[in-house]
Chains A and B, each alone.
Chain A
């Protein structure tokens, strides 16, 4: 299976990606969880959002070293991601997929990339700490600037409205009904 190499800042190349494609991502990426999204709405986005990738992650960073940095559950950011995409963000990275709202917000604009949940050590070995914004939110909730080196990801939701998580969940529902109803 071919692996597509991506580099931030991202451009229109993300629009050609299809759900299920395997990619690697390199370049600067910004972490943001619930509190960071709220803070950015209130006080502004502290980096250039155009072509940026947002990583749903609450890392452990000690003395400027990334100790662990796996993805957190993206669905918590379902109602918080619109403003970032409106400002030009091209990729959301996390685990577990996102809701219908985000699927529609990504249409014609960007993609959702899935990273294997819990793979904190693999992530740490492919990331360098390059800075931090809103550190007062605490280690897990701050906006960390991380430089990715070929992180292996899967396109979970593409810019044409295809969503692997949604398809899998529809099939699981049908299967459940055939087993128990």
Chain B
């Protein structure tokens, strides 16, 4: 590390906070997501679907009791930072985050998932070239938010550069994404939908939408969620009333000639946690 950039105590605190956030995310599902699964189980009319949701809730209890990851696909770490003006945005800070991920890989433990895209050689520590992705925004506190993202659901995500005249096609694109995905992304899913921005921004918006609490949906989000649930794909693609637990939307302005839309698919194990780093 570069001690000229941040002091040793802060570096250690960032390593610890990153490790803690990952551990918390991997073992404890956020209460809003858990409660959405409980409500879905109570509503379900298909016995097979009810059984699947019961297995999921049983799994959450086991993970908490045993202190084990909820899912064996512990994902790749996606990191969101807020940084106050008193902390320099520097290489040492990013190094500390990477070290926290390496520590969590052996401590939690995590499955080593990060490989070279072509040679497929595994780095064995869940960091790699460009991994983790770290999004930085200014804030009043130094916070580390982790969103471990599994591949089953991520692989089903889609992006479309719609025409400005195709605004009415957004629900169709969202539902079509789930139709193509079927049972593969481990439904019931949460869909993060990005609308607007550039080609790259819209995908980031879709992912950031997954950080939003799922206990409320605005009328547009509710409409998208109801449409997806009409497909009847159900938990694990075995049929049922619950295909999506929630749909969350984030928007940005865009070019007058563009309408980018992205759907980031998230399995029921919507893991996220935020830890505040003491300064």
Contacts and interface: CB of A to CB of B under 8 A. Distances in A.
Interface of A: 1, 20, 22, 57-60, 62, 67-70, 72-73, 75, 95-97, 114, 116-125, 138-140, 152, 154, 156, 164-165, 167-169, 171-173, 175-176, 179-180
Interface residues of chain A: helix, strand, loop or mixed (majority): mixed
* Interface-central residue, A73, A75, A120, A180, by most chain B CB under 10 Å: A120
Interface string B86-112: 000000000000000000000001111
A96 B109 contact: no
B184 A96 contact: yes
B232 to A, nearest CB: 6
Given A116-B52, A180-B172, A58 B238 contact: no
A120 B52 CA distance: 13
B68 A72 contact: no
* Interface-central residue, A69, A75, A123, by most chain B CB under 10 Å: A123
A120 B175 CA distance: 28
Interface string B112-142: 1100000000100000000000000000000
Interface size class of B (residues with CB under 8 A): 35 or more
Contact of A152 (B55, B62, B109, B233): B55
Contacts of A139: 111-112
Contact of A124 (B55, B68, B111, B234): B68
B48 A20 contact: yes
Interface stretch (B2-10, B69-77, B193-201): B69-77
A96 B237 contact: yes
Given A97-B237, A114-B236, A176-B176, A154 B51 contact: yes
A125 B65 CA distance: 10
Contact of B70 (A59, A121, A140, A168): A121
B82 interface: no
Given A73-B184, A168-B232, A117 B59 contact: no
B71 A70 contact: yes
A120 B238 contact: no
Nearest to A165: B237
A22 B179 contact: no
Nearest to B269: A118
Interface residues of chain B: helix, strand, loop or mixed (majority): loop
Nearest to A124: B68
A152 B179 contact: no
Contacts of A62: 109
Contact of A175 (B52, B60, B73, B232): B232
Contact of A118 (B109, B172, B186): B186
A123 B63 CA distance: 10
A60 B73 CA distance: 9
A132 to B, nearest CB: 16
A57 B72 contact: yes
Contact of A156 (B111, B172, B176, B238): B238
B30 interface: no
B183 interface: yes
B58 interface: yes
A118 B239 contact: no
A22 B47 CA distance: 10
A52 to B, nearest CB: 21
Contact of A120 (B71, B109, B183): B71
A119 B56 contact: yes
26 contacts: A1-B51, A20-B48, A60-B111, A68-B68, A68-B69, A73-B184, A75-B184, A95-B236, A96-B152, A96-B186, A114-B238, A116-B56, A117-B236, A118-B70, A120-B73, A123-B72, A152-B55, A164-B48, A164-B239, A167-B239, A168-B234, A168-B238, A172-B179, A172-B182, A172-B233, A176-B175
